[in-house]
């Protein structure tokens, strides 16, 4: 069984510097200020530019665009947005008409951004993030000066995040914290859109404006009710889904394994 599984925090660079201090207690380096921090702050302070020829840009279109980028195809994007594939196609077509360019190239492997699509991705992220920032600022509870949203993979809450949240609250009593449980795709989407400030997971993805910090490595062991059995999957084996990276390593360790009778995605 693969002995280790890395636990990683993905952090939005817009967070206040003081918020990162608590991560030193759990093994995360405090990130140094980067040029992106200054660019992002400047981008949020400039006057709005009319990119759309006078037509109002629906943030739902930008959100759909970013979901397709993250998902890699229209079908998976539709599932994550809980809409039909035709609705996603219609939104992207409307967006392309407003912008006057093609954003995606479809092929058998999924979707690929065109040069115009890659350029628009930065603007779409800023647009959605600005709206979410406004919602955060407006929705701050009375008596607090800010709100922090922490998203974590389900399996990390009991042994780690539930112990870490009180430390964060004690160190930053003026910050309201909202905790969310999800799997990697949903956490990454929330980080890209600005709905989540810190995401803790096993297999993060690199995205512009996000800082990835490894926290620690978990040791995974194979547990059996038969102490005399060989250390490999036996009849009655329960496979716990720890993500795609674990699946790849598990397959490499046990190439002849045909598949488990029971799978649980509670890792």
Whether 221 and 1 have beta carbons less than 8 Å apart is answered as yes
In the chain, which stretches have pLDDT less than 50? Answer: 1-2, 13-18, 20-56
Whether 33 and 227 have beta carbons less than 8 Å apart is answered as no
pLDDT at res. 137: 62
What backbone torsions phi and psi does residue 215 show, to the nearest 5 degrees?
A: -90, -55
Which CATH architecture does the domain made up of 9-33+144-209 adopt? Answer: 3-Layer(aba) Sandwich (3.40)
pLDDT at res. 85: 92
pLDDT at res. 75: 92
pLDDT tens sequence across 142-180: 788 878 889 998 888 887 888 888 888 888 888 888 888
Strand partners, 218: 5
Whether 39 and 111 have beta carbons less than 8 Å apart is answered as no
pLDDT at res. 41: 27
Q: Model pTM?
A: 0.53
């Amino acid at each position: 069984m693969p002995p280790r599984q890395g636990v990683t925090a993905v952090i939005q660079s817009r967070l206040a510097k003081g918020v990162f201090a608590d991560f030193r207690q759990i093994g995360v380096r405090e990130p140094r200020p980067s040029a992106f921090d200054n660019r992002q702050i400047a981008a949020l302070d400039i006057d709005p530019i009319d990119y759309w020829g006078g037509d109002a840009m629906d943030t739902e279109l930008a959100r759909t665009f970013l979901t397709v980028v993250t998902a890699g195809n229209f079908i998976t994007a539709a599932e994550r947005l809980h809409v039909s594939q035709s609705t996603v196609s219609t939104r992207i077509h409307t967006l392309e008409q407003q912008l006057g360019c093609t954003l995606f190239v479809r092929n058998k492997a999924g979707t690929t951004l065109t040069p115009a699509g890659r350029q628009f991705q930065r603007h779409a992220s800023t647009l959605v993030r600005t709206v979410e920032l406004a919602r955060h600022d407006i929705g701050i509870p009375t008596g607090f000066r800010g709100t922090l949203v922490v998203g974590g993979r389900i399996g990390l809450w009991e042994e780690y995040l539930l112990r870490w949240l009180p430390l964060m609250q004690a160190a930053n009593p003026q910050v309201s914290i909202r905790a969310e449980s999800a799997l990697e795709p949903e956490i990454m989407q929330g980080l890209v859109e600005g709905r989540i400030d810190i995401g803790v997971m096993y297999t993060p993805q690199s995205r512009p404006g996000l800082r990835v910090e490894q926290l620690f490595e978990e040791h995974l062991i194979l547990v059996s009710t038969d102490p005399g059995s060989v250390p490999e999957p036996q009849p009655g084996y329960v496979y716990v889904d720890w993500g795609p990276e674990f699946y790849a390593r598990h397959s490499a360790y046990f190439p002849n394994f045909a598949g488990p009778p029971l799978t649980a995605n509670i890792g």
